[in-house]
């Protein structure tokens, strides 16, 4: 898709800079994967994610446009913020899963914690919560945290399998479980701090 450069009116392509006058163009909405030039996969190469994140920021960061005109300064901040957002999305397995499902058109964007309609998950969550309440010693706390970590990692693995077999229903279900596990993990960590 091409549009006219805001500065020189020439047609600009996909790039963030106009190919004629090299001025920074406004942000075009893209998926987080496209934004950072990465293949859409759950099993993301984290090293590559960092590398591409830095590469993208290098081009558009406000430090590069500190002495530019107002328009480019504004676009630079917007690009940089969009890249930061994409980076955070892809770094976190929960947000990454949600992003893939969104691009696949599977669930509505901005969907928050879904209701617990999965009886199996409901039981699991209730049991974990009870265990959390019963924790008294440091040893018990560590043991429970290890257990949650193991469940969390197992869920990540299952998500990877679900995506590679293109089972989006399963992925969505696992995403839901991951959200609950993440919430309980956070609470378990908080408890220790208190």
Partner 1 sequence: MRALLQISEPGQLDRKATVSSGAIGIDLGTTHSLVAVVENGKPLVLSDEKGEQLLPSVVCYLDGAVRVGNHGGSMVRSVKRLMGKNVGDADRLNESQFHAIDKTASDQVIRLNVGTKSVTPMEVSAEILKTLKIRAEKHLGQQVSQAVITVPAYFDEAARNATRDAAKIAGLEVLRLLNEPTAAALAYGLDSGEEGVYVIYDLGGGTFDVSILRLEKGVFQVLATGGDTELGGDDFDRLILDNYLSNVDDSIHERIKLARELKQKLSFEEAVLTPSGHLLNRDDFNLLIESLVQKTLNICQDVIKQAGLSLPEIKGIVLVGGSTRIPYIRKRLESVLGQTPLQTIDPDLAVAHGAALQAHALTQGSDTLLLDVTPLSLGIETMGGIVEKIIHNNTPIPVSKSQEFTTYQDGQTAMSFHVVQGERELVKDCRSLCRFELRGIPPKVAGAARIAVTFTIDADGLLTVSAKELTTGVHQTVHVKPSYGLSEEELTAMIVAGYENAQSDMNERLLQQAIVDGNRLLNAVESALEQDKALLSQEEYDEMRLFLVDLRENIALKHINAIKQSCDRLEVSTQTFAERRMNKAIKTALTGQSIDTVL
| Site of interaction with partner 1 (CB under 8 A) | 54, 57-58, 61-64, 66-67, 77-78, 80-82, 84-85, 87-88
The nearer residue to partner 1, 141 or 170, going by C-beta atoms, is 141
Whether 153 and 141 have beta carbons less than 8 Å apart is answered as: no
Spatial separation of the C-alpha atoms in residues 181 and 151, rounded to whole Å: 8
CB of 164: closest distance to partner 1 in angstroms?
A: 27
The nearer residue to partner 1, 66 or 113, going by C-beta atoms, is 66
Spatial separation of the C-alpha atoms in residues 144 and 129, rounded to whole Å: 10
CB of 138: closest distance to partner 1 in angstroms?
A: 16
Whether 152 and 182 have beta carbons less than 8 Å apart is answered as: yes
CB of 119: closest distance to partner 1 in angstroms?
A: 30
The nearer residue to partner 1, 13 or 26, going by C-beta atoms, is 26
CB of 65: closest distance to partner 1 in angstroms?
A: 9
The nearer residue to partner 1, 107 or 168, going by C-beta atoms, is 107
CB of 130: closest distance to partner 1 in angstroms?
A: 25
The nearer residue to partner 1, 84 or 170, going by C-beta atoms, is 84
């Amino acid at each position: 898709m091409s549009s006219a450069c805001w500065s020189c009116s020439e047609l600009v392509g996909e790039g963030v800079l106009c190919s004629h006058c090299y001025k920074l163009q406004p942000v075009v909405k893209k998926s987080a994967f496209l934004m950072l030039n990465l293949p859409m996969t759950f099993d993301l190469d984290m090293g590559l994610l960092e590398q591409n994140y830095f590469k993208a920021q290098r081009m558009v960061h406000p430090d590069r446009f500190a002495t530019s005109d107002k328009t480019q300064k504004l676009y630079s901040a917007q690009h940089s913020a969009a890249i930061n957002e994409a980076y955070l999305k892809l770094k976190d397995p929960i947000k990454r899963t949600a992003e893939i499902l969104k691009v696949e058109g599977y669930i509505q964007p901005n969907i928050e914690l879904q209701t617990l309609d999965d009886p199996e998950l409901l039981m699991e969550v209730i049991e974990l919560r009870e265990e959390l309440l019963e924790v008294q010693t440091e040893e018990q706390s560590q043991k429970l945290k290890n257990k949650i970590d193991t469940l969390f990692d197992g869920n990540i693995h299952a998500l990877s399998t679900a995506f590679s077999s293109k089972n989006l229903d399963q992925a969505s279900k696992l995403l839901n479980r991951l959200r609950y596990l993440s919430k309980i993990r956070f609470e378990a960590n908080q408890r220790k701090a208190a």
